[in-house]
A and B are shown apart, each in its own frame.
Chain A
Amino acid sequence: MFKLGFHLWKSKIFSNILLTVLIALSLFMAHFCVGIVNDRLSLFDTVRNFDKERTFYYMCNTLDNIERAAFDEEEKTGVHTQIPTFEEYMSQITDGNLPDISYMYSGTAFATEDVSEEYGGGVIYIAIDNDISHKLNIGTLSDGQWFTDAPHKDGYVNAVVLEGKYHTGDTFTVALNNGNSETFDTMNILVTGVLPDDSHMLAPDTSGTSLGLNDIFPKTHSSIENGLYSVIYFSYEDEAVKSHKDNLTMSYSCFLTLDSYAKNNQTVQNLKKFGWLLSFDEIYQATYTYIYEQISRIFPLLLGVFMMTVVCLVCVMTLNSTDYMKTYSIYYLCGMNLADMKKILFSYSLIIMLSSGILFTLLFTLATFNKNFSEILIINLYNLYVIFGIVVLLIAVMVFVPYLMLAKYSPKQALTEN
Chain B
Amino acid sequence: MIKLSAVNKTYNSKKPNAFQALHNVSLTIEDGELTAIIGRSGAGKSTLLHIMGCIDTFEEGTYLIDNENVSGLSDKKLSAIRNKKIGIVMQDFALIETYSVLQNVMTPLYFSKIKSKQAKEMAMKAIRAVGMEEYLHTPIKNLSGGQKQRIAIARAIVNNPSVILADEPTGALDSKTSTEIIALFQTLNQLGKTIVIITHDLSVAEKCNRQIEISDGRIIHDSNSPII
Chain A positions within 8 Å of B, measured between CB atoms, are 1, 3-4, 7, 11, 326-327, 329-340, 412, 415-416, 418
Which residues of A are found within 8 Å of B221, using beta-carbon distances? none
Against A, the Cβ 8 Å flags (1 = close, 0 = not) of B9-22 are 00000000000000
Provided the pairs A331-B111, A335-B108 are in contact, do residues A7 and B103 lie with their beta carbons within 8 angstroms? yes
Question: Which of B75, B94, B159 touches A338 (beta carbons < 8 Å)?
Answer: B75
Contact across chains for B110 and A329 when beta carbons are under 8 A apart? no
- Distance between Cα atoms of A327 and B83 in the complex (Å): 16
Provided the pairs A11-B98, A337-B76, A415-B90 are in contact, do residues A332 and B107 lie with their beta carbons within 8 angstroms? no
Contact across chains for A329 and B94 when beta carbons are under 8 A apart? yes
Contact across chains for B82 and A333 when beta carbons are under 8 A apart? yes
Secondary structure of the A contact surface, majority rule = helix
Contact across chains for B110 and A327 when beta carbons are under 8 A apart? no
Q: How close is B191's CB to chain A, nearest CB, in angstroms?
A: 21
Against A, the Cβ 8 Å flags (1 = close, 0 = not) of B34-78 are 000000000000100010010110000000000000000001101
Residue B214 at the A interface, CB < 8 A?
no
27 contacts between A and B (CB under 8 A): A1-B110, A7-B99, A7-B103, A11-B96, A327-B96, A329-B94, A331-B107, A331-B111, A332-B82, A333-B53, A333-B90, A334-B82, A334-B108, A334-B111, A335-B79, A335-B83, A335-B111, A335-B112, A335-B159, A337-B79, A340-B111, A412-B55, A415-B50, A415-B90, A416-B46, A416-B56, A418-B91
Contact across chains for B108 and A416 when beta carbons are under 8 A apart? no
Residue B80 at the A interface, CB < 8 A?
yes
Residue B88 at the A interface, CB < 8 A?
yes
Among A3, A332, A339, A415, the most chain B Cβ lie within 10 Å of the Cβ of A415
Contact across chains for B75 and A330 when beta carbons are under 8 A apart? no
Residue B124 at the A interface, CB < 8 A?
no
For the complex of A and B, 8 pairs with smallest distance between CB atoms: A335-B83, A337-B79, A334-B108, A335-B111, A334-B107, A335-B82, A337-B76, A335-B79
Residue B84 at the A interface, CB < 8 A?
yes
Residue B95 at the A interface, CB < 8 A?
yes
Q: Which residue of B lies closest to A4 (CB)?
A: B110
Q: How close is A336's CB to chain B, nearest CB, in angstroms?
A: 5
Contact across chains for A333 and B88 when beta carbons are under 8 A apart? yes
Chain B positions within 8 Å of A, measured between CB atoms, are 46, 50, 53, 55-56, 75-76, 78-80, 82-84, 88, 90-92, 94-96, 98-99, 103, 107-108, 110-112, 155, 159
Q: How close is A408's CB to chain B, nearest CB, in angstroms?
A: 15
Q: Other CB < 8 Å A-B pairs besides A335-B111, A337-B76, 16 of them? A: A4-B110, A327-B96, A329-B94, A330-B94, A330-B96, A330-B107, A333-B90, A333-B94, A334-B111, A335-B83, A335-B112, A337-B111, A338-B76, A416-B55, A416-B56, A418-B92
A-B contact count (CB 8 A): 67
Which residues of B are found within 8 Å of A412, using beta-carbon distances? 55-56
Contact across chains for A416 and B111 when beta carbons are under 8 A apart? no
Q: Which residue of B lies closest to A11 (CB)?
A: B98
Q: How close is A359's CB to chain B, nearest CB, in angstroms?
A: 25
Q: Which residue of B lies closest to A332 (CB)?
A: B55
Which residues of B are found within 8 Å of A418, using beta-carbon distances? 91-92
Which residues of A are found within 8 Å of B110, using beta-carbon distances? 1, 3-4, 334
Which residues of B are found within 8 Å of A340, using beta-carbon distances? 79, 111
Q: How close is A11's CB to chain B, nearest CB, in angstroms?
A: 5
Q: Which residue of B lies closest to A1 (CB)?
A: B110
- Distance between Cα atoms of A334 and B108 in the complex (Å): 5
Q: How close is B2's CB to chain A, nearest CB, in angstroms?
A: 18
Q: How close is A85's CB to chain B, nearest CB, in angstroms?
A: 82
- Distance between Cα atoms of A3 and B119 in the complex (Å): 13
Which residues of B are found within 8 Å of A334, using beta-carbon distances? 82-83, 107-108, 110-111, 155
Provided the pairs A327-B96, A415-B94 are in contact, do residues A337 and B88 lie with their beta carbons within 8 angstroms? no
Q: How close is A8's CB to chain B, nearest CB, in angstroms?
A: 10
- Distance between Cα atoms of A330 and B90 in the complex (Å): 10
- Distance between Cα atoms of A415 and B84 in the complex (Å): 19
Question: Which of B55, B75, B80, B98 touches A415 (beta carbons < 8 Å)?
Answer: B55
Which residues of B are found within 8 Å of A327, using beta-carbon distances? 96
Contact across chains for A337 and B75 when beta carbons are under 8 A apart? yes
Q: How close is A116's CB to chain B, nearest CB, in angstroms?
A: 77
- Distance between Cα atoms of A329 and B90 in the complex (Å): 12
- Distance between Cα atoms of A337 and B113 in the complex (Å): 12
Q: How close is A4's CB to chain B, nearest CB, in angstroms?
A: 6
- Distance between Cα atoms of A213 and B168 in the complex (Å): 83
- Distance between Cα atoms of A338 and B155 in the complex (Å): 21
Contact across chains for A333 and B55 when beta carbons are under 8 A apart? yes
Which residues of B are found within 8 Å of A3, using beta-carbon distances? 110
Q: How close is B92's CB to chain A, nearest CB, in angstroms?
A: 7
Which residues of A are found within 8 Å of B111, using beta-carbon distances? 331, 334-337, 340
Contact across chains for B90 and A11 when beta carbons are under 8 A apart? no
Q: How close is A95's CB to chain B, nearest CB, in angstroms?
A: 87
Q: Which residue of B lies closest to A12 (CB)?
A: B98
- Distance between Cα atoms of A144 and B202 in the complex (Å): 109
Contact across chains for B50 and A416 when beta carbons are under 8 A apart? yes
- Distance between Cα atoms of A189 and B123 in the complex (Å): 80
Q: How close is B36's CB to chain A, nearest CB, in angstroms?
A: 21
Among A4, A331, A334, A415, the most chain B Cβ lie within 10 Å of the Cβ of A334
- Distance between Cα atoms of A33 and B132 in the complex (Å): 57
Q: How close is B170's CB to chain A, nearest CB, in angstroms?
A: 18
Q: Which residue of B lies closest to A327 (CB)?
A: B96
Which residues of A are found within 8 Å of B56, using beta-carbon distances? 412, 416
- Distance between Cα atoms of A416 and B107 in the complex (Å): 19
Which residues of B are found within 8 Å of A338, using beta-carbon distances? 75-76
Which residues of B are found within 8 Å of A7, using beta-carbon distances? 99, 103
Among B110, B112, B155, B159, the most chain A Cβ lie within 10 Å of the Cβ of B110
